A and B are shown apart, each in its own frame.
Chain A
Amino acid sequence: MTDANSTMTVTEPEKVRRSPYSAIAPRLEQWRRQFYYFRKSPLAVAGLIITAFFAFLAIFSPLLTTGNPYQMAINPFATNLIPWFSSWRYPLGTTYFGVNLLPAMIKAARIDLAFSLAVVATGAFVGVMVGAFAGYYGGLFDDILMRVTDVFFSVPYIILAIAMIVVFTKSFKDVAGGIYTLLILSLIVIWWPTYARIVRGQVLSVRELKYVEAARASGAGALRVVFKHIIPNSMYPVFVQISLDVGTIVLLLANLDFINIGISNITQPEWGNLATYFNYAQVGLTLALQYPWTFIVPGMAILLYALGLNLLGDGIRDILDPRMRR
C-alpha cells in the first residue's frame, strides 16, 4: 500500500501541484522573501508594531473600555470639572468637563481609524481608477486630469478643507453622520488627485512595457489590460501612499479640530477633538498651558499613530521598490 502511494506521488507531481494551495505558494514564498528585508529595518518593525497596537485598540475598543468616559460630564455638580492628573482612577488624567482621557482615547482609536480608512480607501479607489484609465488612454481626458490635479496640488490641503467645510456645513446639518460625512466627503474630494497622479505616472511607464503589449496582442481588451496588467503593476506606490495618508488624514483632522471647524462636539471621542478641549473653554490657550496633559496626551496618540503608519509605509516602500533599498 505504501509502495503504491509513493509511486503515485512520484509519477504525478502535477496532481499535487495543482491543489489550490500551490497556486498561492509561490506568492507566499515571494512575500516571505520580501518580509525578510522588512524585518532587517528596525524602524519598519517599530512602525508595524505601533500600527498593530492601534489596530488592536480600534478593534477591541468596546471590550477595553467599560462604562462611559463622559459620565462625569453629565453631572453638572461634579467636583472635578477642573482637569485632574495622576490618579489611578484616571491613569492618563482627565480633561475638561471631567472626561476620563484613557477610555475616551481608546474609544477614539476606532473612530479615527475608521475615519482615515474611509477617506483613504475611497480616495485611493477613485484616484486609481481615474489615473489608470487616463494614463492608459492618454489624450484629452489625460490632459484634463492633469490640470485638475494641478489645481488641487496648488492649494494647501487645509485651505481646501476649510473651504469645503465652510461651504457645505449647512447642507450637511441633516445628513446622516452630519459633520463626519461632510469631513469624509470633503477629504475624499481633496485626496483622490494624489492617487490619480501617482497611478498615472506609474501607468505611463507600465503601459509601454512589453508584457502589456503582449496582452494586447493576445486579444485582451482595454478593460482587461488595465485591470489585469496595468493596475496590479502600478500599485506599489499607491500602497505606500495609503499607509502614509492614513496617518496624515488624522493629523489634518486634528488641525481642523483645532481651528474649530472639525469635530467640535464635547461628547465625540476623537483624538483631535480630545486634544483641543481647551477650545470649549473661554480662555482657551492659557487654560491649555495650565493643564498641559489635556492636549499632550491625546496629541501623543495622534503622533504615535501617524508615526507608526509613516514608518510602516517607509518599510513597505523598501520592500516593494527595491530601487530605494540601499
Chain B
Amino acid sequence: MGVATLVSENIYMDVRHLKQLFPIKGGVMSRAIGHVHAVDDISFRIMEGETVGLVGESGCGKTTTGRTLLRLLEPTSGYSFVNPPAEVVKELDEIFSGLEDDSGSLLDGEISSTRLDEIAREYSIYGVKGKKLKQMRSSMQIVFQDPFASLDPRMLVKDIIAEPLVAHHAANKSDIAERVSSLITEVGLNQEHLYRFPHEFSGGQRQRICVARALALNPKFVVLDEPTSALDVSVQAQILNLLRRLQEKNEMTYLFISHHLSVIRAMCSRVLVMYLGKMVEIAETEELFLHPLHPYTQALVSAIPIPDPLLKRERIIIGGDVPSAASPPSGCRFRTRCEFAEDVCREKEPQLEEWNNTGHLVACHLVHRMDKRIINAAERASVYAGEHADARLHN
C-alpha cells in the first residue's frame, strides 16, 4: 500500500507513561473528591511518515490523548519525546527500565532522574520552553471532529487559514496572502471562498478549511481527531482522499483518531486500540484485523459490517456498560465485560506484551488461550478482505 512505503525507521514521537487525570469536585468546599482517569499511563511510539490509527469507543480517552500530545492540555504526568535521535531513545529505554518494575508499570513515587529531566527539557513537548516550544508546536497541528464548531464564526476564511502563520510570525503580509491562496487551492476550494464566512460553507468544505489551516505551517505531524465522523458518507471519502494525498505530498505523520474501523483500515498503517484510558492492543493494521488478540478488539472487529448479504454474521456482543472512568475496575479494565475473565484479571493489571515475537502488542493475561477465537476472527477478517470464496463453502 502507498501508505506503508513512506514509513521510515525514525521514531517521530515516543510517548512514555502519559497520564491525564481530571479532578471531580464536590462536597462543601469543592475539593477534588476523585479523578476521571481519562488517559491512564499509556506508552507508544509513532514512526516518521506513518499513519497511526487510534480506536476505541466514545469516552475512552482517544480525543484527550490527541489533545494532550499537542499540549493543548497539560498532562498530569508523563513524557512525549518529539523527534528523539536513536541514541536518546536507547538512553530513555535504559532510564525507564530502571524506573519500571517487572510488570512494566512505574515504581511508586515521583519519577526522578536528572538525566531524564535533561532529555525532557530538550525533547519532550511538556518539558521544552519558549522558542523551542513554539517551534515544536508549529510542526504539530490538529484537525477537529466538528467542522461547524472549530471555525471562528466572526472571521473570514482567509483570516482563519492565515491564523497559524500570523501567530507564528511566519511570514510578511504578501507572503501570507500567497500562502493562503495556495493552501485553499491545495484543499480543493476556490480563491473566492477566501472572502466568505464559515457559516456559508457545507460540512465538507469547512473540514477542507480546517485542513488548510492545519497545513499552513507545513507541519510534520497532524492529529486527525475523527475528521470525518461529522460528515456525510459521500463526503467522508473525499476528505480521506484529500488527507492521504496531502500526506504523500508533504511527507507528514498522522495520528488518526476514529471509532470507525473501516476508515481506520483504509487509512492507517498501524493501529492503537484504547479502552477506558488504557492501551489494550497495538499492531500493524492488517495484522490487527487478521489476528485481533484482545477480546475487546475482537468484538470491535466482529462489528465491522461485512459487504456480503449471504454470509452469516457472527457478531460478538459485549454486554454491560463502560465502567465509569472515575472508578475504573481493578486489574484488567475490560474484565467487567469480558466473557473470559478469570481471577487473575481482577488481581493483576495486564501490561502490553509482544505476542509470539511478532511486534503485535496486547495487554491480556489470557492471550495464550485465545487461539480458537483468533482463528474464527481471522476467518471473518479474511472474508472481509475479499477472500470469501472459501468461507462461503463452509456455510
Which chain A residues have a beta carbon within 8 Å of chain B's beta carbons? 13-14, 17-18, 22-23, 25-26, 30, 209-211, 213-221, 224, 228-229, 232-233
Contacts and interface: CB of A to CB of B under 8 A. Distances in A.
A237 B147 CA distance: 26
Given A210-B146, A214-B150, A228-B152, 19 more contacts: A13-B191, A17-B192, A17-B195, A22-B195, A26-B196, A26-B200, A211-B149, A211-B153, A213-B67, A213-B150, A214-B210, A217-B142, A218-B141, A218-B164, A218-B216, A219-B137, A219-B164, A220-B163, A233-B152
A214 B192 contact: no
B213 interface: yes
A44 B167 CA distance: 40
A213 B144 contact: yes
A18 B163 CA distance: 18
B253 to A, nearest CB: 16
A9 to B, nearest CB: 13
Pairs A-B, 3 closest by C-beta atoms: A14-B191, A218-B164, A210-B150
A219 B138 contact: yes
Nearest to B133: A219
B343 to A, nearest CB: 43
A233 B195 contact: no
A14 B190 CA distance: 9
Contact of B72 (A216, A221, A224, A232): A216
B134 A219 contact: yes
Contacts of A233: 152-154
Contacts of A221: 167
B71 to A, nearest CB: 9
Interface of B: 67, 70, 72, 134, 137-138, 141-142, 144, 146, 149-156, 163-164, 166-168, 181, 190-192, 194-197, 200, 210, 213-214, 216-217
Chain A contact residues: helix, strand, loop or mixed: helix
Contacts of A213: 67, 72, 144, 150
Contacts of B196: 26
Contacts of A209: 149
B150 A211 contact: yes
A241 to B, nearest CB: 19
A216 B168 CA distance: 11
Contact of A218 (B167, B190, B191): B167
Contacts of B67: 213
A14 B196 CA distance: 12
B167 A211 contact: no
A14 B70 contact: no
21 contacts: A14-B181, A17-B195, A18-B195, A23-B156, A23-B195, A26-B195, A26-B196, A26-B197, A30-B197, A211-B152, A213-B144, A214-B142, A214-B144, A214-B150, A215-B163, A215-B167, A217-B142, A218-B214, A218-B217, A219-B137, A233-B152
A219 B217 contact: yes
A7 B75 CA distance: 57
Considering residues B72, B137, B150, B214, which has the most beta carbons from chain A within 10 angstroms of its beta carbon? B150
A26 B166 CA distance: 22
Given A14-B181, A224-B167, A217 B72 contact: yes
B49 to A, nearest CB: 21
Nearest to B135: A219
Nearest to B163: A218
A221 B133 CA distance: 12
Given A26-B156, A210-B144, A233-B152, A13 B164 contact: no
B156 A214 contact: no
Contacts of B190: 14
Contacts of A232: 154
Contacts of A22: 195
Nearest to A211: B152
A17 B195 CA distance: 7
Given A26-B197, A214-B210, A13 B192 contact: yes
Contacts of A220: 163-164, 167
Contacts of B168: 219
B393 to A, nearest CB: 50
Nearest to A13: B192
Contacts of A215: 152, 163, 167
A134 B121 CA distance: 30
Considering residues A26, A219, A228, A229, which has the most beta carbons from chain B within 10 angstroms of its beta carbon? A219
Contacts of B195: 17-18, 22-23, 25-26
A221 B144 CA distance: 19
B241 to A, nearest CB: 23
A49 to B, nearest CB: 29
B352 to A, nearest CB: 29
Nearest to B213: A218
A30 B200 CA distance: 11
A56 B197 CA distance: 35
Contacts of A13: 191-192
A71 B155 CA distance: 56
Contact of B191 (A17, A23, A30, A214): A17
Considering residues B134, B152, B156, B191, which has the most beta carbons from chain A within 10 angstroms of its beta carbon? B152
Considering residues A210, A213, A228, A233, which has the most beta carbons from chain B within 10 angstroms of its beta carbon? A210
A195 B142 CA distance: 34
Nearest to A12: B191
